[in-house]
Structure formats: structure tokens, C-alpha cells
Amino acid sequence: MTRRNLMLLAVAVAVLGAAPFIGGNYVLRIGTITLMYAVVAISWNFIGGLAGYPSFATAAFFGLGAYAGAIARTAGVPETLAWLLAMLAAGAFSLALGFVILRLRGHAFAIASLVVIEVLREIVTSWDSVTGGGAGISVPFAAATPEAIATYYYWSMCGLAALAFAVLYHVARSPLGFGLRCIRQNEDAANMVGINTTLFKTAAFVLSGVFAAGAGAIYASWTSYIDPADAFDIVISIKAIVMVLLGGAGTVLGPVLGAAAFMALDEFAWSNFLEVHTGILGVLVVLLVLFLPTGISSFSLPDVLRRMRHKHGSPAGASGR
Amino acid sequence: MVPLLELRDVSCTFGGVRAVRGVSFRLKQGEIVGLIGPNGAGKTTLVNLISGVYAPASGQILHRGERVDGMKPFRLAARGIARTFQIVQPFPAMTVLENVMAASLFAARRKGMAAARAAAMEQLEFTGLAPLAHRPAMELTLANRKRLELAKSLAMEPQLLMLDEVNAGLNSAEVEQALELIRAIAARGVTIVIIEHLLKVVMTLCQRVVVLHHGELIADGAPRDVVEDERVVSAYLGARYAERYRRRHA
């Protein structure tokens, strides 16, 4: 890890650690949502960033995790165990699903993964006896003060985010991550140099499923009520993709930086331009992607200064990272 | 002795087209075999069959006496069957070193990234690409990209290396360098199958030549005998070349 990244990590830890003490419930709420999206973005980064497969299944995994966790909780399973069960269920689901749809590439894969959200939402909506159908499902919650509950779920989401980040950090440096980057570049050539592409892609898809489901399960416990439209919301898939592209696809810091930047922009747009905040947010995201095409994580001040100095020189600098 | 590779009556069809028809031959350990024939004769298809890109419609492929037809490319790569592509297939945004590392790490099963990096560096030294190790593969010239293909397949630590037109598009000085490299690889004991249109290369490099025409094997023998073969002359070489060759070697 470079010194810059170590410093970023130290700042992140300090901010995350201080938030519950300095901010009120509003800050905790924003913090929990940001951490949730960090997990979802990291989840997408495994399949979309590293392996280059444009998955829209993130919301399907998130919703599956939310419902599996909620159903386990109503059946009396302890909370942490319910979350683990939800992650396990999504792991098994993504394994089976990956086996089928990872044969597709490009647009076909994207569409297939998109359809999964709709199918799961339909199933959950129709399966009244287990899921509560379209009316949603209430999740039992502990008898405690709102502050204590907010703090508890903040730290839970923080723990999951730390775990997801640690796994991503490790995978990106391992042969698995290296093989996935090869697949993203040229899948046939990857197969030819001895990479079991099916196995590698499936591993990435399962990692994606497990973490998105974990975020969904904690979310369900935190809000204590979910319904199909909320849990299987395609916006979750899209936000994950935008955040990762914003932060830097396939990088370790990208998803977290992207999630933080997106949420900060969202807050800024929402509090300053209430009426048109989604429009303003869209423009800001487009500007960022235009001017930092490889993501925030690749931002380097010396590079920018050099480029500005050689503004009228050779265009070669523009192709560098 | 069990041959390194044996094809028994291998056929491959695409829709109604029979690209390879009932081809049988054997490769001995350490041979350099030329695979020649006119365009569309099925040479690349044969390489694709052996390296697992396609499964044969009928027939058997045996590697060291074991059936390998229908195996996935990554399994064959791990067994030591490597090939280069006529149209080079690098990982464009990765560095030259990373490209070769992938082969060391996965096909040659080097344990860990550091070991793979060291093994890859050796192949870069061998192929003369070491000074370009940290450049992205997409910045290389065509000659160097062909070299990178070679370095990649060498890093797979193959027993059998199939070279699909590694000299196409190179100038004569670059061809000379490439030939030197191929000889050095053969000297390591690697069995080589080379698809080549430059007959001079085939004649000087190969101990044996296999000729394909319309997917059929029409000749298999020493280069000198093959150029005398009437079917080869009419299908591929042309009478003029055969005459010239005969006069020069008379």
C-alpha cells in the first residue's frame, strides 16, 4: 500500500470512528447508508470491476439477503446468525445463477442479470405465506433507545464494510484477482494461458452475491420493515455501478471512494437544490466521469499539474492513468 | 514409446463445411514439424482442435497416450500444450510482464505471484523483451507483440508449442530474429509445430512436414520428399516452385 493510500485509510478510520460521537442520529443515518452502499459497490466491483462482467444482479442479491434475513428473524433466529444465513443463501443462489448466466457475455449477460431482479421480486410478491407478499414484512427489533439502535446498526454495517474491503484487498492481490483482470481483458486468451475462466467468474459472482446480501440483511434489520419494491430496487444495482465507475473500476479503493463521493454529492445536491436534486446529481456525476474517466482513485495531483503545464504539448499525457 | 501427441482420424465440421477430414499423425518428443497448406486448408482449425478451442466431431486426440479431445483450453494449457495466435491475443492494458506472468501463474502452476513474476522475467530475458517489461502490451510493435506471444507460451513451460504464423507481417530481419528464437526454444527440448507460409523457413527449420489440403492430410514426411510429392506440388507449391527447388538442390 502506498503512503497516500495508508493516509486515506487512516482518515477513513478516524472519520468512521468519530461519527457516532460527534454527529446525531442524522449523521449516523447518512453514515450507515454510505457504508451500506460501500458494501454494495465493493460487491459489484468483484464481478463488474475485476472480471468486467456488467452485472445488474446486485439488487437481486440485496433483496434476497434482505428477505432471507427478515424471514430468518421472524422465525426467531438470532440477528447475527440471520445475517450469516442470508449471506449463505445468496452465496448458494449466485453459485447456481452464475453457472447458468455467466456463459453469456456483454449485453446478453447484462440483460440476463437484470431479469433476475424482476423474477425474484415477482416470486417474493406472490409467495404471500412466507414473504408477506406485496404488503411487505416486519422485522422484529430490540427494545432499546433509537440512539442505541442507530449506533448498533452503524457499527454492524461498518463491520461488514471492513470485512468486504479486506476481502477485496486480498482478492485484488491474489491469483484470483489477477486471473479476473485477465478475463476482463481477453477471456479467450485467459483460458488459453490456463485460467479456469468458468471457476474464476463464478467465484467473483458468488463474492458479489454474498456481500450484497449481507448489506441487504443488515438493512432489513435496521429499517425493521421491507417490501418487494424497496428490497428489489434496480436503483441499487445502478448506484453500485455508478459508484464503482466514479471511484475506479477494478481498484481496491475505488468502490469505497466512489460510494463516499456519490453520497456526498447526493447530500450536497439534495440540501441545496431540493427541487431538482437528482438532475444536479446526474450532471455532477457526468462531469466527474468525463474529467476522471478512470475514477477518483486514480487522481494524482502531480499528474494533473503536469498535464496542465503541458496543456499545449503532446496529447500523450492524456492516455496515461 | 508413446508419442507426445497422436491424432486418430480427427474430423471437424462447421455447419456443412468439413474443415478437417480424418486427419491422423503422430508427434515425437523434440521434433520440429512444419504444418503447411494453402489458405483455408484447415491448419489453424487443426491447432484449435489440439489446443481445445474446438472439440473434434469425430476421432481421437491423445496426449502421452491419454484422450484429451474435448478438454477445455485451460486444462490442455496446464498439460503443457501451448499455442500462439495468428492474430496476437495479448491482455492489452496489462504490462508485458503481467501478460507473461499470467502464463507462469496459471498454466505452469507457479506457486504465488512472486514466483510467477520471477519465472516470467526469465522468459522476457530469453525473448529479449526484458527492457519493455513494464510497458503496456498495447504499445508494442507488431514484431514485439509476436515476441510477447512467444514469451507467453514459453512461460506456460510447454512440452508442445504450436506456432501459428509467428512470422506473418514481419520483415526479413525480424524473421531472422524470430527463427533464432525458435531454434533456441527447440534446443530446450520443446516439440514444435509451426504453421508457416515462408517455405524457406519450413525447409531450413523442420525435420518433418505435414501438408493439409481441403482439410485432408495429403503428405507427411521429410521436407525434401514432400516438395517432390505430386499432390503437394499441384495443391500448394505449384510446379514452378518445385522446379526451382529441384534445380537448386540438384
DSSP chain B: ---SEEEEEEEEEETTEEEEEEEEEEE-TT-EEEEE-STTSSHHHHHHHHTTSS--SEEEEEETTEE-TT--HHHHHHTTEEE--SS----TTSBHHHHHHHHHHHTS--SSHHHHHHHHHHHHHHHT-GGGTTSBGGGS-HHHHHHHHHHHHHHT--SEEEEESTTTT--HHHHHHHHHHHHHHHHTT-EEEEE-S-HHHHHHH-SEEEEEETTEEEEEE-HHHHHH-HHHIIIII-HHHHHHHHHHT-
A191 touches chain B (CB under 8 A): yes
Beta-bridge partner residues of A137: A226
Is the distance from CB of A150 to CB of A32 less than 8 angstroms? yes
Write phi, then psi, for B179 (nearest 5 degrees). Answer: -65, -40
Percent above pLDDT 70 for chain B: 99
For A126-272, where are the E strands, in sequence order? 137-138, 225-226
- Whether residue A186 and residue B77 make contact (CB cut-off 8 A), yes or no, is no
Is the distance from CB of A234 to CB of A84 less than 8 angstroms? no
Q: What is the pLDDT of residue A319?
A: 40
**Cα separation of A191 and A105, whole Å?**
15
Query: By CA distance, what is B135's nearest residue in A?
Result: A320
- Whether residue A175 and residue B106 make contact (CB cut-off 8 A), yes or no, is yes
**Cα separation of A204 and A82, whole Å?**
23
Residues of chain A with pLDDT under 50: 313-321
Angle formed at CA A104 by CA A101 and CA A108, multiple of 5 degrees = 100
Q: What is the pLDDT of residue A301?
A: 67
CB contacts, 8 Å: B78 with chain A: 194
Buried b (16+ CB within 10 A) or exposed e, B74-105: bebbbbbbbbbbbebbbbbebbbbbbbbbbbb
CB contacts, 8 Å: A103 with chain B: none
A275 touches chain B (CB under 8 A): no
**Cα separation of A179 and A191, whole Å?**
10
Chain A nearest CA to B235, separation (Å): 32
* Paired sense of beta strands B191-195 and B160-164, if any: parallel
Mean pLDDT across chain B: 88
Burial of B73 (0-12, 13-18, 19+ CB in 10 A): buried
The C-alpha cell of A181 is what?
A: 483482470
Q: What is the pLDDT of residue A255?
A: 92
For an interface test with A, which of B106, B138, B148, B149 has the most A Cβ atoms less than 10 Å from its Cβ? Answer: B106
Q: What is the pLDDT of residue A157?
A: 93
CB contacts, 8 Å: B89 with chain A: 186, 188-189, 192
Chain B nearest CA to A241, separation (Å): 21
| Secondary structure class of A10 (helix, strand, coil) | helix
| A171-180, B55-64, B228-237: least confidently modelled range | B228-237
Beta-bridge partner residues of B1: none
Structure letter (DSSP) for residue A225: E
Task: Read off the pTM.
Answer: 0.86
Chain A nearest CA to B243, separation (Å): 41
**Cα separation of B134 and B96, whole Å?**
6
State the virtual CA torsion across B11, B14, B16, B17 in degrees, nearest 10: -70
First to last CA, chain A: 18
User: What are the residue ranges of helices labelled H in A25-138?
Assistant: 25-44, 58-74, 79-101, 106-126, 128-131
Is the distance from CB of B90 to CB of A186 less than 8 angstroms? yes
A190 touches chain B (CB under 8 A): yes
Structure letter (DSSP) for residue A133: G
Nearest to B102 among A188, A193, A197 (CB): A193
pLDDT at B121 over 80: yes
| A113-127, A259-273, B8-22, B143-157: least confidently modelled range | A259-273
Q: What is the pLDDT of residue A318?
A: 40
Structure letter (DSSP) for residue A178: H
Query: By CA distance, what is B151's nearest residue in A?
Result: A193
The C-alpha cell of A69 is what?
A: 434475513
Query: By CA distance, what is B77's nearest residue in A?
Result: A194
Query: By CA distance, what is A189's nearest residue in B?
Result: B89
- In A37-96, the residues whose Cβ lies within 8 Å of chain B are none
Domain segments of chain A as ranges: 24-252
For an interface test with B, which of A193, A200, A201 has the most B Cβ atoms less than 10 Å from its Cβ? Answer: A193
Is the distance from CB of B22 to CB of B10 less than 8 angstroms? yes
Q: What is the mean pLDDT of residues B7-22?
A: 89
Q: What is the pLDDT of residue A158?
A: 92
Query: By CA distance, what is B99's nearest residue in A?
Result: A182
Name the amino acid, one letter, at A310.
Answer: H
| Secondary structure class of A137 (helix, strand, coil) | strand
Edge-to-edge strands of the sheet including B191-195? Answer: B81-83, B160-164, B191-195, B32-36, B208-213, B216-221
Q: Work out the pLDDT band at B131, boundaries 50, 70, 90.
A: very high
* Paired sense of beta strands B58-63 and B216-221, if any: unpaired
For chain B, domains (ranges, CATH) are 5-80+158-248 (3.40.50.300), 90-157 (no CATH)
- pLDDT tens figures, B189-210: 899 999 988 888 888 889 999 9
Burial of A290 (0-12, 13-18, 19+ CB in 10 A): exposed
